[in-house]
């Protein structure tokens, strides 16, 4: 079962730790989120993964968005590993954009090494995020393959812009210690589930 919500930071709890950050709406959470997280824990040799449940993704409609509480419940039900922490951190910090949240978290936990975790499907629209180039310069990235999106890692605007900073998948365990920008592509994750498809089947 996942740990309780990470709303506060006990002094020293995360000092020296390697933490993966998986942001998303989790509307609902599903096994592909879990697959990415478990792969990240193993391949990046992380101590923990935080699932950052977004209050409202600026790029998504509110029309079919479940409440934050319901989405966090779905995340807790899927996160079957005690190294995964389900959190409403963005809501607690009052931040609207990933870049703002990262600035706050990194300033609060300067001794923690963070890696941003992202599916290849989200990389396709990463260049639409606010201050996306700055995000990639303040935290290392690990991109995980998703069925039908492998080519995105080669052709997306973000991948093209940071092409020279990609490291081999064989060096993924060193990513959290590297000077940013730095990113890698993990090819082993191929779970086809998506939150959109799950919602469509329920209609």
pLDDT-based confidence at residue 26 (cuts at 50, 70, 90) = very high
pLDDT for the residue 11: 61
Q: Which residue has the higher pLDDT, 57 or 26?
A: 26
Look at the block and give the residue holding tokens 């990470």: 6
Under 8 Å between Cβ of 69 and 102:
no
In this prediction the pTM is 0.86
For 141-155, the pLDDT digits (tens) are 999 987 777 787 888
Domains and CATH numbers, the chain: 18-202 (3.40.50.620)
Residues sharing a CB contact under 8 Å with residue 140, sequence separation 6 or more, in sequence order: 114, 115, 116, 175, 176, 178, 180, 181, 182, 183
Higher pLDDT pick, 59 / 107: 107
Return the pLDDT at 92: 87
Measured CA to CA in angstroms, residue 167 lies from 3, 135, 164 at distances of 32, 17, 9
Q: Is 195 exposed, middle or buried (0-12, 13-18, 19+ CB in 10 A)?
A: buried
Q: pLDDT tens, 144-190?
A: 987 777 787 888 999 999 999 999 999 999 999 999 999 999 987 65
């Amino acid at each position: 079962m996942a740990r309780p919500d990470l709303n506060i930071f006990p002094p020293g709890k995360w000092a020296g730790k390697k933490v993966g950050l998986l942001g998303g709406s989790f509307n609902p959470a599903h096994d592909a989120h879990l697959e990415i997280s478990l792969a990240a824990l193993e391949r990046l040799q992380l101590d923990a993964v935080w699932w950052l449940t977004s209050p409202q993704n600026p790029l998504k409609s509110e029309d079919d968005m479940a409440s934050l509480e319901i989405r966090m419940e779905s995340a807790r039900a899927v996160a079957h590993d005690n190294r995964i922490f389900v959190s409403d951190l963005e809501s607690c910090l009052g931040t609207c954009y990933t870049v703002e949240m990262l600035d706050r978290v990194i300033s609060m936990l300067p001794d923690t090494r963070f890696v941003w975790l992202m599916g290849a499907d989200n990389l396709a629209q990463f260049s639409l995020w606010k201050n996306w180039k700055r995000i990639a310069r303040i935290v290392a990235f690990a991109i995980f393959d998703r069925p039908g999106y492998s080519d995105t890692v080669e052709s997306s605007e973000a991948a093209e812009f940071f092409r020279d900073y990609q490291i081999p998948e064989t060096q993924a365990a060193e990513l959290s210690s590297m000077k940013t920008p730095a990113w890698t592509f993990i090819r082993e994750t191929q779970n086809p589930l998506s939150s959109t498809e799950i919602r469509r089947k329920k209609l």
